Amino acid sequence: MAASETSNKRHISIYDTTLREGSQCVGISLTLADKISLCLELDRLGVDFIEGGLAGSSPKDDAFYTEMQGKKLSGAKLVAFGQTVKSGMKPSEDRMLKALCDAGTEYVSVFGKTSAVQAKEVLGVSPEDNVKMISDTVDYLVKTGKKVFFDAEHYFDGFKANPDYSIRCISAALSSGAFKIVLCDTNGGVLPFEIEEIIEKTLRNVPSLRGNFGIHVHNDSGTADYSTVLAARLSADVAQVAVNGWGERCGNANLFTVVPNLSLKLGFDTIPDLSVLYDFAHRFCETANVKMWEFSPFVGKHAFSHKAGVHIDAVRKYSSAYEHVAPESVGNSRKFMLSEQAGRAAVIAKVDELLPKLGFSISDAGVIVDKIKELELLGYRFEGADASFEMLVKDILGIRKSWFHLNTYKVVVFDSDDAKAHSENDKSGVTASAIVDVTVDNRREITADNGIGPVDALDKALRKALTSFYPSIANMYLVDYKVRVLESKLATASVVRVVVESSDGKKNWCTVGVSGDIIKASFDALVDSYTFMLDNNLGSS
């Protein structure tokens, strides 16, 4: 049952263009398998329409439509995308329109120029011929049984130059049987107040469009999300969006911004369950092999992160003080970040978040705040390094468990000839060797290993030493490694901060180390990481 049949709120159809327009974003490259997987993800999310790609443009897009004909979507409608017939050609003779029909979708979308200037300068046709191309295309597709979205390309720019002509173009599509007219700001340069004015004038001239048109906005002026929400308020019932706002040039309206704003701020009915948005966003990016922007509104990792002490104190008392919506409404969560700006309330909040069962006092918080400020003066940063902060708290409170004692370690970096000699083959890349000496429960273990660089060698040697005592360490692996030079003017004598992100396959955590010696800074972060892993996997046993 459609969402509009189960709610008294006005429904806005979410039309996702990620698989077509989003694929045109620089840095996005989707395989056929990716497109199929992401299409099914979008269907599970509950969008109304999914645009699959430009039919007839590439073997991959054609294969996508063929593959999707054998799959059943639970609620979304797949839309094949195409363009108006070429000038002087019958629609039945146009190869691209044939591919559009062969895609096997009930719904199709075709774009056509609605700007007289664009028709003349880009297509090289007269305004009259362009109108005929629109009418002939829509009429042909409707007669083949298709429900047609007509994307009125360059509508807003065209309207500003010649409003009568732009209205004539969309009227031609309507009279030929178009299912929906989608007004497009193709260049992304029209500002929201202009979009509002043009939509209002259009609705006065074409009253049948009220509550029965779509909006498609590019983000070249940074206002695509706002313009899309504004169009919905002006009775648009279709919002074309893309995951993360991906798209040509600066992208399109962002699904993750538009949908929550429409639903949570304006009370529209969009997707069935907004609480899945956070997980969906991160899972989608993982499938597309793109890193999720951590500061993305609503679904970014830090969308509800608080750092200033006064903010944290206020949020703990009254969450709406610095949160425009509840984090859980979109499946996100509140995070407290630690820095020299943190006060006692911030530390208490962070400890409660990380170690909820720990007995803790105001005086303890004061000691921790002083220690954070002391360490930050040396170059440490605990925001984003929760695992190291947890180790620091346990150290100060005297409850950090000593899983192992590091006696000594040594690293040897090979020159090119030595590296070749130590390699198993010429392609192994081994450039360093490390020896680690640890003690666990009065048992001493000395191990060595090779690696691609000194940090990799140390990690392997420490892992080998500890795994003989704690087999679960075999499940731990390095996810990311970052180095920041803190005083670049000191050149090679600079202090560096190293942040290591690790995982056990279930959760990720970050640790930090600071030193004038990059190897020591790295190893300190690694030791914290292994200790955190053992605390969380074996601490209760």
pLDDT at 55 over 90: yes
Cβ neighbourhood burial of 495 (10 Å; 0-12, 13-18, 19+): middle
Residue 273 has pLDDT above 60, yes or no: yes
240 within 8 A of 259, measured Cβ to Cβ: no
What per-residue confidence (pLDDT) applies to 240?
A: 98
Q: What is the reported pLDDT for 421?
A: 54
> Residue 347: its pLDDT value, please?
80
**Of 193, 263, 322, whose CA–CA distance to 45 is shortest?**
263
Question: What is d(CA 285, CA 243) in angstroms, rounded to the nearest whole number?
Answer: 9
Give CA separation, 385 vs 390, 471, 518, 520, 537, in Å. 9, 25, 18, 17, 19
pLDDT at 425: 46
User: Which spans in 289-354 are helix H?
Assistant: 309-317, 344-354
For residue 491, what pLDDT is reported?
52
Distances (CA, A) of 199 to 126, 155, 512: 25, 10, 53
Q: What is the DSSP string of 385-407?
A: -HHHHHHHHHHHHT----S-EEE
Identify the residue whose tokens are 């002087």: 88
Q: Can you read off the two tokens belonging to residue 536?
A: 């969380």
Q: Is the pLDDT of residue 18 over 70?
A: yes
Averaged pLDDT for residues 401-410: 92
Is the pTM above the cut of 0.85? no
Q: How confident is the model at residue 538 (pLDDT cuts 50, 70, 90)?
A: confident
pLDDT at res. 285? 92
Name every residue whose Cβ is closer than 8 Å to that of residue 376 and which is 6 or more positions away in sequence: 339, 340, 382
- CA neighbours closer than 13 Å in the CB half-sphere of residue 479: 16
Span 490-507, mean pLDDT? Answer: 81
Alpha helices in 398-517 (DSSP H): 416-422, 454-467
Complete domains list, the chain, with CATH: 3-272 (3.20.20.70), 305-390 (no CATH), 405-538 (3.30.160.270)
- The stretch 315-333 carries a mean pLDDT of 94
pLDDT at 1: 32
For residue 120, what is the enclosing H or E element?
Answer: none
DSSP-based three-state secondary structure for 193: helix
Chain segment 328-379, per-residue pLDDT in tens: 999 999 988 776 566 677 787 778 878 877 777 777 888 888 888 888 888 8
Question: Which residues, listed in sequence order, are joined to residue 446 by a DSSP beta bridge?
Answer: 437
Query: What pLDDT score was predicted for residue 6?
Result: 42
Indicate whether 384 pLDDT > 90.
Answer: no
Of the pLDDT bands very low, low, confident and very high (cuts 50, 70, 90), residue 531 is: very high
Q: What is the dihedral of CA 229, 233, 239, 241, to 10 degrees?
A: 0
Phi, psi (rounded to 5 degrees) for 123 = -85, -25
| pLDDT tens, residue by residue, 426-435 | 455 678 999 9
Report residue 474: phi and psi, to 5°.
Answer: -60, -20
Q: Tell me: the pLDDT tens digits for 105-158?
A: 999 999 999 999 999 999 999 999 999 999 999 999 999 999 999 999 999 999
Q: What is the mean pLDDT of residues 7-30?
A: 91
Triad 497, 498, 499: Cα angle to 5°: 125
Token pair belonging to 14: 């979410």
pLDDT the model gives residue 339: 63
Q: H-helix or E-strand containing 44?
A: helix 32-45
Which helix (H) or strand (E) element contains residue 521? Answer: helix 518-538
Collapse the DSSP code of 141 into the 3-class scheme (helix H, G, I; strand E, B; otherwise coil) and give the result. helix
The predicted pLDDT at position 83 comes to 97
Q: Does residue 49 have a pLDDT over 70?
A: yes
Q: Tell me what the pLDDT averaged over the chain comes to.
A: 90
Query: DSSP string covering 195-231, please?
Result: HHHHHHHHHHH-GGGTTSEEEEEB-TTS-HHHHHHHH
> Model confidence over 172-216: pLDDT tens digits?
999 999 999 999 999 999 999 999 999 999 999 999 999 999 999
**Does residue 76 or residue 377 have the better pLDDT?**
76
pLDDT at 419 over 80: no
Q: What is the pLDDT of residue 414?
A: 83
Q: According to the model, what pLDDT value does residue 5 have?
A: 40
pLDDT at 541 over 90: no
Q: Alpha carbon of 322 to those of 70, 123, 329, 348, 527: distances in Å?
A: 48, 51, 15, 18, 36
State the pairing for strand pair 180-185/49-54: unpaired
Give me the phi and psi of 203, to 5 degrees please. -65, -30
Q: Compute and round to an integer the Cα radius of gyration of the chain.
A: 29
% of the chain with per-residue pLDDT over 90: 71
For 519, residues 6+ apart whose C-beta sits below 8 A from its C-beta are 411, 454, 455, 458
CA distance 72 to 83: 26
Nearest to 451 by CA among 432, 467, 478: 432
- Least confident range from 320-324, 340-344, 419-423: namely 419-423
